[in-house]
């Protein structure tokens, strides 16, 4: 992906020099914390937002000031460029397809731990979008996890992570995320999981629209980039993650969809480019 020297977003909130400390994730401990970690590896939304828990003030945790390495700075620049691309793309798509104005999200960079409007954020929770404060939270150390533990390497795989979380912001802007979360609180756990799968697959489809526009209008996609994104989607399917954890896949526990579903819905967005074709809630063919 051609990103060096390109325009960066002004909607970055960099907390990485603030230090993290040992913040708890929404006060969850024991088995609950383990669940949070597993959900984080699915590249999903912070579960605190569904439970309505956590610090609503959005303040960061206290800690010793941290120094940024050259790698840290490069990763911050990369994320800022990708975020700027999503802003340009979604501004145009909203205007062209919906006749609406897109309001960009803020992306918070942090190290180790911080606070969000949905509760605690930590390296263990992975990237997530918080609708309460309309911010994406990202510790770029997750890119190392993506490459070394999940088998998804490359700049475009990392960019897909950002685009997926911005996909949740798009859902929030369209009123989809709030309605899905409202319904999830009123149904059984299994039904809630099924709704979560549809939410996540739609975010994958929306990230496919981003990828299509990155190719066609921005011209920043290089040979092999799209394959990196599709591979990333496959590597974080619920079935693949459960198998890699030595477990037998249990569909009723899935919250993000199978590897086949995630990569296929990314391709739907990539091939179509239409928000209307990303409606995972009105289809029986996931």
**pLDDT bracket for residue 99 (50, 70, 90):** very high
User: What is residue 281's three-state secondary structure?
Assistant: coil
CB 169 within 8 A of CB 209: no
Residues of 160-195 as b/e, b for ≥16 C-beta within 10 angstroms? bbbbbbbbbbbbbbbebbeebbeebeeeeeeebbbb
- Reply yes or no on whether the pLDDT at 125 is more than 80: no
- Reply yes or no on whether the pLDDT at 155 is more than 90: no
pLDDT confidence of residue 65: 64
pLDDT digits (tens, 9 = 90+) for 12-61: 999 988 865 434 433 333 333 333 444 444 444 444 443 333 444 444 44
CA–CA gap between residue 174 and residue 118 (Å, rounded): 19
**Candidate from 39-53, 156-170, 181-195 with smallest mean pLDDT:** 39-53
CA–CA gap between residue 279 and residue 199 (Å, rounded): 9
User: What is residue 83's three-state secondary structure?
Assistant: helix
pLDDT confidence of residue 126: 80
- The candidate with the shortest Cα–Cα distance to 280, out of 268, 39, 270, is 268
Mean pLDDT of the 73-96 span? 95
| Helices first, then strands: H and E counts in the chain | 10, 6
pLDDT digits (tens, 9 = 90+) for 203-260: 999 999 999 999 998 888 888 888 888 888 888 888 888 888 888 999 999 889 999 9
Mean pLDDT of the 96-100 span? 98
pLDDT more than 70, % of the chain: 82
3-state helix, strand, coil in the chain (%, to 5): 55, 10, 40
User: What is residue 19's three-state secondary structure?
Assistant: coil
Terminal-residue alpha carbon distance, the chain: 30
Q: Which residues pair with 216 in a beta bridge?
A: none
**pLDDT bracket for residue 104 (50, 70, 90):** very high
Higher pLDDT, 186 or 142: 186
- Reply yes or no on whether the pLDDT at 105 is more than 60: yes
**What phi and psi values does residue 136 have, to the nearest 5 degrees?**
-95, 135
- pTM, to two decimals: 0.83
Q: What's the chain's average pLDDT?
A: 83
Q: Tell me the H-state helices in the chain.
A: 31-40, 48-51, 70-93, 141-148, 155-173, 176-184, 189-213, 225-235, 238-244, 259-272
Higher pLDDT, 10 or 48: 10
- Reply yes or no on whether the pLDDT at 150 is more than 90: no
pLDDT digits (tens, 9 = 90+) for 256-285: 999 999 999 999 999 999 999 999 999 988
């Amino acid at each position: 992906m051609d990103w060096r020297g390109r325009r960066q977003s002004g909607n970055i909130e960099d907390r990485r020099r603030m230090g993290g400390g040992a913040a708890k994730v929404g006060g969850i401990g024991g088995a609950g914390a383990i669940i949070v970690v597993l959900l984080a590896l699915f590249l999903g939304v912070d579960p605190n937002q569904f439970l309505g828990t956590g610090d609503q003030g959005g303040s960061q945790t206290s800690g010793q000031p941290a120094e940024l390495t050259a790698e840290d700075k490069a990763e911050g620049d990369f994320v800022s460029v990708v975020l700027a691309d999503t802003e340009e793309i979604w501004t145009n798509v909203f205007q062209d397809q919906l006749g609406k104005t897109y309001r960009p999200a803020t992306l918070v960079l942090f190290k180790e731990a911080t606070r969000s409007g949905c509760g605690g954020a930590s390296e263990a929770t992975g990237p997530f979008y918080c609708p309460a404060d309309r911010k994406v939270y990202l510790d770029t150390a997750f890119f190392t996890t993506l490459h070394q533990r999940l088998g998804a390497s490359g700049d475009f795989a990392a960019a897909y992570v950002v685009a997926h979380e911005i996909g949740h912001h798009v859902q929030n802007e369209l009123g989809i995320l709030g309605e899905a979360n409202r319904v999830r609180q009123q149904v059984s756990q299994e039904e809630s999981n099924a709704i979560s799968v549809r939410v996540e697959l739609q975010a994958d489809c929306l990230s496919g629209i981003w990828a299509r526009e990155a190719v066609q209008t921005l011209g920043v996609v290089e040979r092999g980039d799209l394959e990196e994104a599709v591979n990333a989607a496959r590597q974080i399917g619920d079935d693949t993650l459960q198998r890699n954890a030595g477990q037998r896949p249990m569909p009723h526990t899935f919250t993000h969809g199978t590897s086949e579903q995630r990569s296929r819905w990314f391709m739907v967005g990539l091939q179509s480019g239409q928000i209307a074709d990303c409606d995972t809630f009105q289809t029986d063919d996931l």
